[in-house]
Amino acid sequence: MDSVIYVVVPGMSRRKSVFRLRQRVGKYRLERRAERTPLWEKFHATDTVMGVPVVLRIPERQLVTRAFLDQFREDSAQIAGVEHPGILQLRDASLVDGRLLISSTTGLESLQERLTRRVSVETAVRLCDQLLDTMVSVHRQRVVHGNLHSDNLILFADGTLRVAGFALSRALTQSARRCRGFTPRLDPVEVGLAPDSIRWDTHCAARICYRLLVGRELEEACEGTISLNAARRIPVSTLRWLERATSAQQRGTYHDAGALQRSWQRVRGETLRLAGASGKRPRTRPRLRLRAA
pLDDT tens digits for 84-125? 999 999 999 999 988 999 999 999 999 999 999 999 999 999
Mean pLDDT score of the chain: 83
pTM higher than 0.85, yes or no? no
Which residue type occupies 238? T
pLDDT > 70 in the chain, percent? 77
- What domains can be seen in the chain, in order of their start residue? 12-105 (3.30.200.20), 109-165+188-276 (1.10.510.10)
Q: Are 134 and 162 in contact (CB under 8 A)?
A: yes
Radius of gyration of the chain (CA): 20
Q: How confident is the model at residue 293, as a pLDDT?
A: 45
Q: Buried b / exposed e across 87-104, counting CB within 10 Å, b at 16+? A: bbbbbbbeeeeebbbbbb
Q: Is the pLDDT of residue 6 over 50?
A: no
pLDDT one-digit tens code per residue, 218-272: 765 554 455 556 667 889 999 999 988 988 665 557 899 999 999 999 999 999 9
Query: Which residues lie closer than 8 Å to 50 by C-beta, 6 or more apart?
Result: none
- 57: phi then psi, degrees, rounded to nearest 5: -105, 135
